[in-house]
A and B are shown apart, each in its own frame.
Chain A
Amino acid sequence: MLSENRKPVLETTDLSLMLDDNAAQPVSSVSMSLHEREITLLLGPGGCGKSSLALCLNGIYPHAIESVVSGNIKIYGNSTDWNDPGLTAQTVGIVFQDPDSQFCMLTVEQELAFCLENIGCPRENIGARIHDALKIVHMDGCLDHPIHQLSGGQKQRIAIAAALALRPKVLILDEPTSNLDPVTAKQLAESIDAIRKLLPMTILLIEHQLDPWMEYIDHLVVMNKEGTVQYEGHPLPFFAHQAPAADLAGIWQPRAALLHRKLSEETGRLGEEIAEDQSLLPLSARGLIATWTAYPAHTRDKAIRLLEAPLRKKQPTATVNKDKPCEIRKNEGFASKDDVLLRANRLTFARRHNIVLQNVNLAIRAGELMAITGRNGAGKSTLISLLSGLLEPSSGEVVLHGQPLGRWKETLLRSRIGCIFQHPEHQFVADTVYDELAFSMRLQKRSEEEIRQRVGELLKQYRLEGHEACSPFALSQGQKRRLGVAAMLTDEQQILLCDEPTFGQDAYAANELMTSLRARADLGLAVVVITHDMEFVQEYADRVIVLNHGCIQFEGSPRTLWSMPEPFLSEQGLVPPMASQLLIRLQEAKGDAGSAK
């Protein structure tokens, strides 16, 4: 894809977007170009105008939403005049993040027909074009399926098919995989790669989860907080030289590059080659594995030892964890690490004859961070609601400190179990950020002075200073999420249940959040986290539960999970984290070398 005569398909010069209040420019003088058949990755910190830029490129701004757009956009060298949205849709297609609010019809066929009718496609051709589009995304069997019954990954495929049916020159994907489990995300990335090779299609990708995509990325555009382009070019130099700056801005980086850098430092191969030759920095799992298996044997052995060390430490056996300071736990009043706080016995939950969960048994222990993972729609959120006593199980029971949840007094129960929901908006109960944080402390009848002090600390810790008087709904998405977490953490609940807490966060905020949850667990409190991110599972979790088809398919340490056979993992929708993939390959290489001798 990196041939010399790259053909620019879409070029922007000094593109700026001004919303009617003139004050803020979400996009300001952006100049960039997309080349034929290339996948361009657009990166930037949260709320930097990536999505707004995407909407400028396909003419939603300024024609559908009132705004001022200056600068110009050229397609194949011709200036565009986006007066006809129908024409625009045929040139630049877009797929959005949320699979639920981007359809307007009920079945797959109706949705695609709607798109084609819009552009005035003659009736006789519509059937064939629907068929073609579905075939490209491998969904040609689901013509009559109601869209709301499809899984998250299938919905995204239909959204892509709807965009492809119009045969656009450029396809913009706005966080298409953020709601998907790792295997589905990987498959989607693969099919997008196949599509752009099959059709002459140019792709602009906006995404936080880089790992499934990295090996296909040809071109990188980085935006900064001010909405301008900070970097444009091949991805390698950026990640090789500007990593610290990217870190600071909260831009997600390929995990392969991070791991490579860490291993290089620790094995003593400290960045020499990186300084000499940028092309040695691997960006994808495949590249990482190729680089490290090619190193001499002693480096590989060192790497294996390094990789094994953190994996071993994470095993939740009492012996390994003895070196953790026990004083803290004593202060909190908890007896031992294996203290079971909450236990679920044969939990079954059915919703209108559909069995969501069946015979789930699990125990939540003090001082432990437990991760729950599994495919989309596996019943993870339902399980959390059951564990927190918000839903009544159809049969079975949840026992907290030896007493079933049903027998606890509501106020007492809420002071023991906290819950962070997927969408922070749902949890806000007060008019201002300050009141939101003070809410539960006021319920506990603490003194106003004490509340002010505690709220001040929280505002600082969660970077919300200066927003005290704002309405919680007026905050940005990342701020809302932080407020939701902060408001929940004002109570010192023994058990904290979190539903995808890092979803939609930038890298900085996500890592910080996971660190603070880990710190809570180390204090002797119990934390349960639903996540699709295996790197987080690897790094922070003591124990992981894989939930699929309403049953627990696996329970154990992350390390034992990664050592499960490949077909099992992919059936559960899981891709092992980078470090574990590399370790397995290095051990294989070692084994091969040993047998060759």
Chain B
Amino acid sequence: MLALQNSKSKPSRRHLFLALGRLNPSIKAMTVVLCVVLLSLAFDPVTIASALLLTLLMTWLFGNIAWNRWLLLFAPFLILALGYFWTAALFPREAIQPDSVLILSMGPFKMTNQSFQIALALCLRTLLFSALSLLFILTTDPVRLMLSLMQQCKLPPKLAYGILAGFRFLPLFREELAIMQRAHRVRGAGRIRRTPRSLLYAFKRYSIPLLAGAIHKSERAAVAMISRGFTGKSDRDFYTRVQITWRDGLFMALMLAIVAFSFGLSHFLGSLRWYNGEL
């Protein structure tokens, strides 16, 4: 979705057997959600690590995403997951079973095998869900997503085209805020003191013109849409049809196979553990 914003970082077009970018966005979204739901039932490092690795493999094989971009977006989740790991490992919420093996001891901090397992599972879950989300987000064109939602999920066109029109405005807002900050600096009103009162004042000073501008823009966009004959009727004959093909079925089957394989592997190794409300 974000890939559309800057075409500079668009990677070269490869012809792939199962290009994720050309799949039906609705089916893709459904598959990802299904995987998330199923995998959230598991709570052991093996199942989740295996699913994570296979998801990354899918992204790498069929995603056609620039890796530096992927890493940039994945990095915050990685940091979050590491933080999660340390807090959960060193300060477990549940009482540590006395028979759990102590694997690390640093002054007052003690990490037992059990808390390590839980922390690892939590950390990997974060990574897995973000990897699945990125798999969807980075390979989906917003226009195709909306078209597909209208065609397959019967989303009302009024809503779908409204979202698309709004999507176009996002970069404009950032630009406008930057211009306004500069304009206020020229007036000698650029510096904002860190007192609550002046912060509130600054918030008002920026938000009113931004909102006024937004209302103005959206009004004009609405008028432009209507003057192009847009009525919001749902019986449209779409020029671009986003169809469901065997590739979508294959993708869903592959993803479900990943889930099944992960559960199977963990079961085979005897490490499978169901989620039981741990945090």
Chains A and B come from one and the same complex: yes
Cβ contact within 8 Å between B240 and A429: no
Cβ contact within 8 Å between B220 and A98: yes
Cβ contact within 8 Å between A96 and B187: no
- Chain A residues with CB under 8 Å of B208's CB are 473
Closest to B222 in A: A64
Cβ contact within 8 Å between B187 and A60: no
Cβ contact within 8 Å between A123 and B237: yes
Q: Report if A429-B239 is in contact (Cβ < 8 Å); known contacts: A102-B220, A118-B229.
A: no
- Would you give the 0/1 interface string for B13-30, flagging 1 where the beta carbon is closer than 8 Å to chain A? 000000000000000000
- Chain B residues with CB under 8 Å of A421's CB are 179, 182-183, 186
Partner of B7, one of A146, A415, A423, A429: A146
- Chain A residues with CB under 8 Å of B183's CB are 419, 421, 426-427
Cβ contact within 8 Å between B228 and A118: yes
Cβ contact within 8 Å between B185 and A414: yes
Cβ contact within 8 Å between A429 and B237: no
Q: Does A584 contact B (CB under 8 A)?
A: no
Measured in the bound complex, the distance between the Cα atoms of B7 and A126 in whole Å is 27
Cβ contact within 8 Å between B168 and A103: yes
Interface locus among A40-48, A83-91, A287-295, A533-541: A83-91
Q: Does B33 contact A (CB under 8 A)?
A: no
Q: Does A275 contact B (CB under 8 A)?
A: no
Measured in the bound complex, the distance between the Cα atoms of B209 and A126 in whole Å is 40
Cβ contact within 8 Å between B240 and A113: yes
Q: Does B212 contact A (CB under 8 A)?
A: yes
Q: Report if A126-B205 is in contact (Cβ < 8 Å); known contacts: A104-B224, A118-B231, A429-B189.
A: no
Q: Does A227 contact B (CB under 8 A)?
A: no
Q: What does DSSP make chain B's interface, helix, strand, loop or mixed?
A: helix
- Would you give the 0/1 interface string for B231-256, flagging 1 where the beta carbon is closer than 8 Å to chain A? 10101111111000000000000000
Cβ contact within 8 Å between A166 and B189: no
Most buried by A among B165, B188, B190: B188
Measured in the bound complex, the distance between the Cα atoms of B237 and A417 in whole Å is 57
Measured in the bound complex, the distance between the Cα atoms of B168 and A100 in whole Å is 9
> Interface size of B by Cβ–Cβ distance < 8 Å?
51
Cβ contact within 8 Å between A388 and B227: no
Q: Does B221 contact A (CB under 8 A)?
A: yes
Q: Does A119 contact B (CB under 8 A)?
A: yes
Measured in the bound complex, the distance between the Cα atoms of B222 and A428 in whole Å is 26
Closest to B167 in A: A106
Q: Does A236 contact B (CB under 8 A)?
A: no
Closest to B186 in A: A419
Q: Does A282 contact B (CB under 8 A)?
A: no
Q: Report if A414-B186 is in contact (Cβ < 8 Å); known contacts: A429-B205, A473-B209.
A: yes
Measured in the bound complex, the distance between the Cα atoms of B213 and A89 in whole Å is 26
Q: Among residues 347 to 401 in chain A, which have CB atoms less than 8 Å away from a CB atom of chain B?
A: 352-353, 385, 388, 390-391
- Chain A residues with CB under 8 Å of B186's CB are 388, 390, 414, 417-419, 421, 427, 488
Partner of B227, one of A89, A117, A440, A443: A89
Smallest beta-carbon distance B215→chain A, Å: 11
Partner of A102, one of B4, B176, B224: B224
Q: Does A121 contact B (CB under 8 A)?
A: yes
Measured in the bound complex, the distance between the Cα atoms of B144 and A105 in whole Å is 11
Smallest beta-carbon distance A501→chain B, Å: 14
Cβ contact within 8 Å between B224 and A101: yes
Of the A-B pairs whose beta carbons lie under 8 Å apart in the complex, a sample of 18, sorted by A's number, is A64-B222, A64-B223, A88-B229, A89-B228, A101-B224, A104-B161, A106-B142, A106-B168, A118-B236, A146-B7, A414-B186, A414-B188, A425-B212, A425-B213, A429-B184, A439-B187, A440-B187, A443-B188
Beyond A411-B188, A439-B187, list 7 extra A-B contacts (CB 8 Å).
Answer: A89-B226, A118-B236, A123-B237, A353-B8, A385-B182, A390-B186, A429-B184
B binding-site residues for A, Cβ under 8 Å: 4, 6-8, 142-143, 161, 164-165, 168, 171-172, 176, 179-180, 182-191, 205, 208-209, 212-213, 217, 220-231, 233, 235-241
